[in-house]
Amino acid sequence: MEKVIQETLMQLKNQDETLCKKDVFHIVNGEVMYRDFVKSGVIDQTQIAPFNEAMCVHETIFPVFSEAFVQMRAKGHHVSVKDYLKKVLDPLGKMLEGNSSRLFLWFGEDVFCQMNVLTLLAYLESTDFSRDIYLNSFEEGVFRVTTHKIQLGNFQEMYKNVLLHHETPTTAAFPVLQRGVEEFLQVQHGYHPIISYMKEHREMSDREMVIQLLKGFPSLGYGDVQYKELMDIYR
């Protein structure tokens, strides 16, 4: 995957040299992708930050990144507030607060990633972020990038509908986020196919179940920790 990312970034840079300008920031999906981006050498490390969250699980609150938000998310992840700040917010630092000309979000098209995207967009909207925002989305396991220019406006309300209340939002999102929202709500309301699968295969060991879920439900993009939490609820 590292080589594929490097080749794709080079292609995108050749198409648009401004991708690597010093005032363009990039937020990527987690530590693994962050390391791959840094190793590629295409974009300067100081312009890249990981978003180390999993907004598809645990309770949340509004405003995003408020003191109450940090406390609730830290509790859900079973870490201290100090550790949460160090892992999640500290890496974002200047990416969210600096004077960038453009901000690129690099996230998969799965539910895990899209709930993180929704959270970041809700936060940026709450700060009256005025620079250009682009989402570079890609299929799970394939770094084939589709670029979406984002217009802020309804993401705070959507965040509250979806992640706080588990309700269908009153306004539609751009297609990749809309698909993520719909599938996330299916999981929350217990009628996603993964729920039936877990109930029908109760005899499996936890380890085997996680292996099968990772193979069988790539559109969720969950990791073993998130799947084990679902198993605790529905098995």
Pairing of strands 24-28, 102-108: parallel
Strand partners, 25: 103
Strand partners, 26: 48, 104
Structure tokens that stand for 10 in this block:
């080079």
The model carries a pTM of 0.95
CB atoms within 10 A of CB 156: 19
The confidence score (pLDDT) of residue 16 equals 87
Report the C-alpha gap between 46 and 184 in whole angstroms.
33
Report the C-alpha gap between 79 and 72 in whole angstroms.
10
CB atoms within 10 A of CB 55: 24
Q: What is the pLDDT along the chain (235 residues), one digit of tens a residue?
A: 788 999 999 999 999 888 889 899 999 999 999 999 999 999 999 999 999 999 999 999 999 999 999 999 999 999 999 999 999 999 998 777 767 889 999 999 999 999 999 999 999 999 989 899 999 999 877 899 999 999 999 999 999 999 999 999 999 899 999 999 999 999 999 999 999 999 999 999 999 999 999 999 999 999 999 999 898 888 8
The confidence score (pLDDT) of residue 98 equals 66
